[in-house]
Structure 1
């Protein structure tokens, strides 16, 4: 057996140094296209609650034609906040599909954040009204920030932001991050914020409906992030029936996304718009909704990009990993 095999380790700081938003946008687009063409496979998701109060999941997949295989082990541990830690935790492993040996282990937190933001950006590019000026964001955490950051970059006409917090209190850190780019303010009227917005972004832990269905106005686009586990939701009953529904993966959305609450709703996979298998001509009165559950292929295409960069630049810790 080979005794000179190596395993590359990339930590959080190295990942953040290597990762650029434009590259991630391209890698996420590739993942959507691979999924649409069924060149990339998405394996059944593992998503389980733990006795510790956390949620543990595994997303895995492969692209046989590219010798790409791997998985992300990730989840949510809310108790981490009590000790000043990040509740979201993720680790990605790339595996040699010929031998089954691990090639690279990568801190997956920043990758998950950025690739989800990039996926949301593609939803906005393909579905939202190009003249959108007002956005409402539910949540002010890491994912809310990256979703809004990509939204402001992809829709230059956006200039007014209302955000909603779980306790109704302002988040000065969130405001300071975006005030140089737009007018941003806290809203304590959830329904009013939705009524006044062209784009609605929901990026919360998915504990329940965030607003009343009647608040949603014709012409609105929604990017929904928080429903990623059975039982989670951010939308009230009736919204999916009014919307033109788009998903990243049809079966996965029915299992763990907003679509689980109305599983028979007709929908289109976003990747099919990118490959031209489906078309969508938005009318001014259309309500569009992107139910984002996250593709394993997105993690893998971004992880491979970072692995290749790390090898080229000799970044990371290479350790002996003999058979």
Structure 2
């Protein structure tokens, strides 16, 4: 057995330095296409509550034609707020499918943020009205920033953004981050803001419905990020049945996404729209929902790009990992 094998470590700063919005967008698009064509596999999700109060999960998959195999171990630890840390923690490992040896460990927080934002952007391009000009965002955290960044990048027609916080207070840093790109302000009435918006983006911990059913007007598109565990929800009862439903993966959406609350609701996987194996022609009165649970292939395609780029540039830290 070789004793000179190495394992490459890519921390948060390296991941962010090697990433670009366009590269991540294309890698996520590839993940959706691979999933639609069944050229990439996603394995059953592990999602379990812990005695510590955290939630731990594993998302894994492979693409045999690319010799791509790996997983992301991730979850939510609310107690990290008191420690001054991020409540979401994630680590990605790429593995050589021929030997089972790990080849790269990456900071999964940065990858998750980027790939989820890109997935939301693709959802908007496929599902939202092309002339959408107003948006309402629930939350101002890391994922809210990622979602809104891609939304503004990919839909230049978006000009006015209202955001909702759990405490109903302004977030000056969030406003400052986007003020050069849109008219952004705190919502004074969440139902009114939803009713006035062409696009609604929900990025909360998913503790319950964020607005009333009647607030959602015909023609609205919703990107829903927060429901990623059994029991979580952000949408009001009855909305799924009124809408055209889309998801990244139907099985996951039924297990841990918004679709768990109406599992018999028909829907289409976004990748099938990208490959043309399914078609959707939006009518102006359609309400559309993208139930985003995040699939392992998104993590793996982005991680592969970063691993290749780091290997070529010498970025990251290589450590001995002998057999």
1:41-120 equivalence runs, <5 A = 41-120=41-120
Which runs of 5 or more structure 1 residues have no equivalent in the other structure? none
Shift of 1:314: 0.4
- In structure 2, the residue matched to 1:307 is 307
Rounded to whole Å, the distance in 2 between the matches of 1:155 and 1:319 is 43
CA-to-aligned-CA distance 1:45-103 (integer Å, 9 cap, x gap): 00111111111100000001111000000011111111211111100000000100000
What SS does structure 1 have at the residue aligned with 2:119? helix
1-side partners of 2:146 and 2:251: how far apart?
26
Determine helix, strand or coil for the equivalent of 2:27: helix
What TM-score do the two structures reach when normalised by structure 1?
0.99
- Tell me, in whole angstroms, the C-alpha distance in 2 between the residues paired with 1:187 and 1:311: 46
Equivalent residue, structure 2, for 1:231? 231
Q: How big is each residue's C-alpha offset from its partner over 1:208-249, in whole Å with a ceiling of 9 and x where there is no partner?
A: 000001110000000000000000000010100011000000
Distance 1:181 1:25 in 2: 20
* 1:188 to partner: Cα distance: 2.8
Taking the TM superposition and a 5 Å limit, the aligned residue runs for 1:120-269 are 120-269=120-269
Runs of at least 4 residues off by over 2 Å: none
Distance 2:195 2:181 in 1: 23
**Alpha-carbon distance in 2 for matches of 1:27, 1:204:** 25
Partner of 2:32: 32
Deviation (angstroms), 1:4: 1.2
C-alpha displacement at 1:201, in angstroms? 0.2
- What is the rounded CA distance, in whole Å, between the counterparts of 2:157 and 2:67 in structure 1? 41
Distance in 1 between residues matched to 2:188 and 2:130, nearest whole Å? 27
Distance in structure 2 (CA, Å) of the matches to 1:115 and 1:312: 22
- Residue 154 of structure 1 deviates from its aligned partner by 1.0
Alignment partners' CA distance in 2, 1:10 and 1:198: 39
Q: Deviations over 1:151-205 (max 9, x none)?
A: 1111111100000000111111111111111111111311111000000000000
Alpha-carbon distance in 2 for matches of 1:171, 1:177: 10
Gaps of 5+ in 2: none
- Let me know the Cα RMSD of the aligned residues: 0.5
Q: CA deviation at 1:11?
A: 0.7
Please give the TM-score of this superposition, normalised by the length of structure 2. 0.99
Rounded to whole Å, the distance in 2 between the matches of 1:68 and 1:45 is: 18
Q: In 1, distance between residues paired with 2:155 and 2:164? A: 21
Deviation of 1:2 (Å): 1.4
Paired residues, what number?
A: 323
Q: Determine the C-alpha separation between the residues in 2 that align with 1:286 and 1:76.
A: 34
